[in-house]
């Protein structure tokens, strides 16, 4: 309890000094439909992301940037690697399988920058980190073979869940028909000995737990075919994330309600590769045709910060081995999120 109060006080101090991290952004934060506009132009474009990654690679000795394939429209798909010792445990962070869920990518880019600074010194000696940011760049850039005219955000582009052919990549992990899914499986999943994966998404803006809107919800693999040890690793990974985020004062996490289909990466990748996976669904999408899914940009600050916190806490817990002894019993009491309107996303 004492520890909790200290961390809340620290979070409070942080909020006073950092404007984007307003406490009210979590509970009653600005939804679309408030007084703000939603301008997608403030997000990294695909080409800005590419040049950002290239600059970081030039700056960071331990970072390696690799092209793992191309999207339907021919955009290079990137893998960021920190792999000092193949014997170390390895975690993969995957963002933007769904093109309109971009704040997870914004957080991953910021985290990549952190990895090149003194504050992460020594961490990559003990853990290998793989990051695939923006697996669906065509959807993210709205460069697709179907109309986005009814999408609600303004800015220089629309962002959509689907790839250029209108396919949901996170339903393609068994047949692997799309080039984006093939790139991930052939050049990342099959190629490296990965222990953990966090698949980062955004859901609608109106999910709640215990009467309060959530900043996000998490879930482990729920297919009956998952190996019990893999499942336990997933629950430990979730415990690290929950403790790090829910204790911040601005984070409020629920248990996501998800299905058992192995076409979804959370389930399919756990079964096919024996990787402990965690789904993290952050609050609110960057663009959509359905208004209640979209969250105003005043929430961007804490949602990006939530992503960084997630990546930072998990690499540290794997690097120092503390993930191994993590208590997973919180999962037994963590309430499933409820939604004010019906939502389907993962």
Binding residues vs Zn ion (CB under 5 A): 98, 101, 201
If one counts every other C-beta atom within 10 angstroms of the C-beta of residue 228, the result is 7
Q: Which is nearer to Zn ion, 32 or 82 (CB)?
A: 32
Exposure letters 131-143 (e unless 16+ CB within 10 A, then b)? bbbbbbbbbbbbb
Residues 315, 131: Cα–Cα separation, whole Å: 12
Q: Which is nearer to Zn ion, 206 or 236 (CB)?
A: 206
As measured in angstroms, the least distance from the Cβ of 279 to Zn ion is 9
As measured in angstroms, the least distance from the Cβ of 13 to Zn ion is 33
As measured in angstroms, the least distance from the Cβ of 109 to Zn ion is 18
As measured in angstroms, the least distance from the Cβ of 131 to Zn ion is 17
Q: What share of the chain is helix, strand, coil (3-state, %, to 5)?
A: 40, 20, 45
Q: How far is CA 279 from CA 202, 238, 314, in A?
A: 10, 9, 13
As measured in angstroms, the least distance from the Cβ of 346 to Zn ion is 6
**Strand partners of residue 82:** 129
As measured in angstroms, the least distance from the Cβ of 161 to Zn ion is 7
203 φ, ψ (degrees, to nearest 5):
-115, -170
Q: Which is nearer to Zn ion, 201 or 305 (CB)?
A: 201
If one counts every other C-beta atom within 10 angstroms of the C-beta of residue 155, the result is 17
As measured in angstroms, the least distance from the Cβ of 44 to Zn ion is 18
Q: Which is nearer to Zn ion, 201 or 326 (CB)?
A: 201
Both structure tokens of 159: 């962002």
**Maximum C-alpha span of the chain:** 55
Q: Which is nearer to Zn ion, 96 or 276 (CB)?
A: 96
Residues 307, 284: Cα–Cα separation, whole Å: 13
By Cβ distance, which residue is nearest to Zn ion?
A: 201
Both structure tokens of 25: 């952004």
Q: Which is nearer to Zn ion, 15 or 183 (CB)?
A: 183
Both structure tokens of 22: 């307003």
Q: Which is nearer to Zn ion, 95 or 300 (CB)?
A: 95
């Amino acid at each position: 309890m004492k520890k909790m109060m200290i961390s809340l006080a620290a979070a409070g101090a942080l909020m006073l000094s950092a404007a984007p991290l307003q406490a009210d952004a979590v509970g009653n934060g600005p939804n679309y439909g408030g007084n703000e506009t939603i301008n997608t132009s403030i997000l990294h474009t695909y080409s800005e992301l590419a040049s950002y990654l290239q600059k970081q690679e030039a700056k960071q000795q331990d970072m390696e940037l690799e092209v793992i394939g191309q999207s339907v429209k021919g955009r290079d798909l990137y893998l960021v690697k920190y792999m000092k010792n193949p014997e170390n445990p390895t975690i993969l962070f995957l963002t933007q399988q769904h093109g309109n869920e971009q704040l997870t990518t914004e957080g991953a880019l910021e985290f990549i920058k952190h990895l090149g600074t003194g504050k992460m010194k020594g961490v990559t000696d003990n853990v290998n980190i793989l990051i695939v940011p923006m697996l669906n760049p065509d959807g993210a850039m709205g460069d697709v073979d179907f109309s986005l005219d009814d999408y609600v955000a303004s800015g220089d582009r629309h962002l959509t869940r689907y790839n250029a052919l209108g396919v949901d990549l996170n339903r393609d992990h068994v047949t692997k028909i799309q080039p984006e899914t093939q790139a991930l499986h052939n050049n990342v999943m099959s190629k490296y000995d990965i222990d953990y994966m966090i698949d980062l998404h955004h859901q609608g803006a109106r999910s709640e737990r215990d009467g309060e809107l959530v900043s996000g919800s998490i879930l482990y693999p729920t297919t009956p075919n998952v190996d019990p040890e893999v499942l336990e690793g997933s629950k430990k990974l979730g415990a690290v994330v929950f403790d790090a985020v829910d204790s911040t004062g601005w984070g409020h996490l629920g248990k996501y309600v998800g299905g058992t289909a192995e076409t979804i990466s959370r389930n399919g990748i756990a079964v096919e590769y024996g990787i402990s996976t965690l789904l993290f669904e952050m609050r609110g999408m960057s663009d959509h045709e359905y208004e209640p899914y979209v969250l105003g940009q005043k929430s961007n600050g804490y949602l990006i910060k939530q992503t960084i916190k997630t990546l930072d806490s998990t690499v540290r817990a794997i690097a120092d081995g503390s993930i191994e002894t993590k208590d997973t019993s919180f999962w037994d009491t963590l309430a499933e999120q409820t939604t004010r309107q019906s939502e389907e996303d993962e």
